[in-house]
């Protein structure tokens, strides 16, 4: 069980690294997907090893996948809008919401 948790932790750390260092908005969204997958591996692992008599962890993982898909759709729409209005999706240049 610990090996699965360790894999999920490493994957999550790589995702954090991507979110912190990417300059491209699509790269940040891809790193976010990595982090969602790490969380899902954790949920399924706990379901198998700690509470195997019902499948609540897998149900949760399905909901996480659905929410991740919705997030990706809205995020990419925002990215396309930024590209159209600013001719670039460099996160450092987009500071219109900064006060």
Partner 1 sequence: MFGVEVSQLFFYLLSFIIIVSAIYVVSLRNIFHCALFLILCLFSVAGIYILLEAEFLAAVQILIYVGAVSILMIFAIMLTSRLANKKIIQSNDNVTVAIFVCAGFLLTSLGSFGYSVWKVVDSPLPENNTLTLGKLLMTDFVLPFEVVSIVLLAAMIGAIVLARREKI
5 to 64, contacts with partner 1 by CB under 8 A?
A: 5-7, 9-18, 20-24, 26-27, 29-31, 33-34, 37, 40-41, 44-45, 47-56, 58-59, 61-63
> Who contacts 15 (Cβ-Cβ below 8 Å, separation ≥6)?
31, 32, 34, 35, 38
> Who contacts 74 (Cβ-Cβ below 8 Å, separation ≥6)?
none
Q: What is the SS3 assignment for 24?
A: strand
Cα–Cα distance for residue pair 64/30, rounded to 1 Å: 16
47 vs 99 by CB, closer to partner 1: 47
For the four alpha carbons of 8, 9, 15 and 18, in that order, the dihedral sign comes to negative
69 vs 99 by CB, closer to partner 1: 69
Binding to partner 1 in span 71-90, by CB under 8 A? 71-74, 76-81, 83-84, 88-89
2 vs 96 by CB, closer to partner 1: 2
Residue 2 found at the interface with partner 1 (CB under 8 A)? yes
């Amino acid at each position: 069980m610990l090996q699965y948790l360790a894999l999920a932790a490493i994957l999550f750390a790589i995702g954090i690294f991507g979110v912190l260092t990417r300059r491209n908005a699509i790269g940040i969204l891809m790193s976010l997907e990595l982090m969602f997958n790490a969380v899902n591996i954790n949920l399924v692992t706990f379901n198998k090893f700690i509470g195997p008599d019902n499948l609540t962890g897998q149900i949760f993982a399905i909901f996480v996948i659905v929410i991740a898909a919705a997030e990706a759709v809205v995020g990419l729409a925002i990215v396309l809008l930024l590209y159209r209005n600013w001719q670039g999706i460099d996160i450092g240049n987009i500071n219109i919401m900064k006060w």
